[in-house]
Structure 1
Amino acid sequence: MRTLAIGTPQKIDTAKGKELITGICKQTMEEAFLSFDGFHQDDVADKKHHGGPDRAVCMYPHEHYAQWNDEFECTLPPAAFGENITASGMTEAEVCIGDIYTIGKTVIQVTQGRIPCSTIDQRLGYPVMKNMIKTGFTGYLCRVLVEGMVRSDDQIAVHTKDPLGVTVLEANTIYFHNPKNIEGIRRVLAIEALADDWRKKFEKRLEIALTTS
């Protein structure tokens, strides 16, 4: 793990000088307790599109920071995208939906790719959102299977790989760029661990793809 970060919603001034209440600005921590609902002292402002047991933990690959820093000629702050955990060696191309990981004594399961929102751009002042969607470098969300204390120096280890092997990047590519890929949509829907919200979205895509094919 590179960074552990938590934070509750607060009012910020956006890059365009407007006020926004958001939980995206998180502070790095040495340790925090992880419950089924997420980290203690961590919360979201928009509960319709964020949070909940299927989206209790937000993770982002550390490897992408170098690309965004180069692309936007900046130095992004830690947890720049509002993620709880910034991790190395866990890119969207390596992590599959349904994979289970241990972090210290806790256990989490990947449930869906993250759908980036405009709050990222409003905080940072760069058009990161469209680039996340273009590349599929969105990060991903997890549910908690075993609660416990998490430390910033804890190792993240694979517990169980999902048998279907659908990577977050593959699912992101279908979701954002190939919504008429019926076979691909069905592969995603076959994942038992898929978050309910994403299941509904992919079911809708499948319905549309079948009626327009």
Structure 2
Amino acid sequence: MEYGKIKSLHAGKPKHEIFSNIDIFSAMDKQAQDNLTVTKAGIIGDGVGNVKFHGGPDRALCFYPFEHYSLWNEKFSKKLDIPAFGENLTIAGMREETTYIGDIYQIGDVIVQINQGRIPCSTISFFNQEPKFLELVLKTSFTGYFARVLQEGTINKQNEIVLIDRLQEKISVHYAAEVILHKRDGLEGAKALLTLESLAEDWKQRILKRVQAAKN
């Protein structure tokens, strides 16, 4: 049985803030929490700044691997404050390369399913005062990932993250992100993602458009 570890939990409502001298309406500046109350719509007391491109049931929880922080700290010669990515769960032992689309985890009495990688926006650059942050994150595909909620409940920061079902072991979150962000393996990569019933609807539509365009 595989386990992940919670390093910290975060939540926060969107608000107007000044990041890098720019006024942005964002929920990036999340606060540490001991517990999260999780519904299928998302976390109670949490939110997003731009509901058109963020949030929703397919993005109810945002995860970011703790292991990547050392890379970014070295890259920018400073220690980034967690959550630098505005993630809800900073986790260890669950990197994108070893976490698969469709994975089902139990955290406390909450059950979630990983359904897509994250496509961050320029807010992460402004928030962390590093102009090249977004560019470098997209280049590596170390973007973190989202989950939908299958069973509502409470997550405690002491809970382990227990893998209870792995539906496939071919398409990791990292591979899926590489296909979406960098067109890895071309049409074959795109078609591979379409075989995943658990893939988030937004990513299905992105890939369908790519496949349809290739036919025309």
1:6 and 2:11 aligned: yes
Residue 164 (structure 1) shift: 5.3
Aligned length: 210
Pairwise CA distance, 1:150: 0.7
Conservation of the 8 A alpha-carbon contact between 2:100 and 2:168: no
Partner of 2:74: 70
Q: Give the drift of 1:210.
A: 3.4
- Give the % identical residues: 37
Report what 1:87 is aligned to. 91
TM-score of the pair, normalised by structure 2: 0.94
Give the superposed CA RMSD. 1.2
1:95·1:168 contact (CA, 8 Å) conserved in 2? yes
Q: Distance in 1 between matches of 2:173 and 2:36?
A: 26
1:127-142 to structure 2, matched below 5 A, reads 127-142=132-147
Q: Could you tell me how far apart the structure 1 residues matched to 2:53 and 2:184 are?
A: 20
User: Which residues of 2 match residues 36-51 of structure 1 at below 5 A?
Assistant: 36-51=40-55
User: Runs of 5+ in structure 1 lacking a partner?
Assistant: none
1:85-132 Cα shifts (integer Å, max 9, x gaps): 010010110011111111011100011110010010011111211111
1:164–1:191: 8 Å Cα contact kept in structure 2? no
Moved over 6 A (4+): none
In the TM superposition, what are the counterparts of 1:13-28 in structure 2 within 5 Å?
Answer: 13-15=18-20, 17-28=21-32
- 2:3 alignment partner in structure 1: none
Determine if contact 2:40/2:152 at 8 Å carries over to the other structure. yes
Match for residue 170 of structure 2 among 165, 170, 181: 165
Moved more, 61-70 or 199-208: 199-208
SS in 1 for 2:191: helix
| Matched position secondary structure for 1:90 | coil
Residue of structure 2 equivalent to 1:107: 111
- Return the offset for 1:179: 6.0
- Unaligned ranges ≥5, structure 2: 1-5
- What CA distance in whole angstroms lies between the structure 2 residues aligned with 1:103 and 1:65? 23
Matched letter for residue 16 of structure 2: K
Secondary structure (helix, strand or coil) at the match of 2:81 reads coil
Distance apart, 1:205 and its partner CA: 1.3
**1:7 and 1:43 in contact (8 A); partners too:** yes
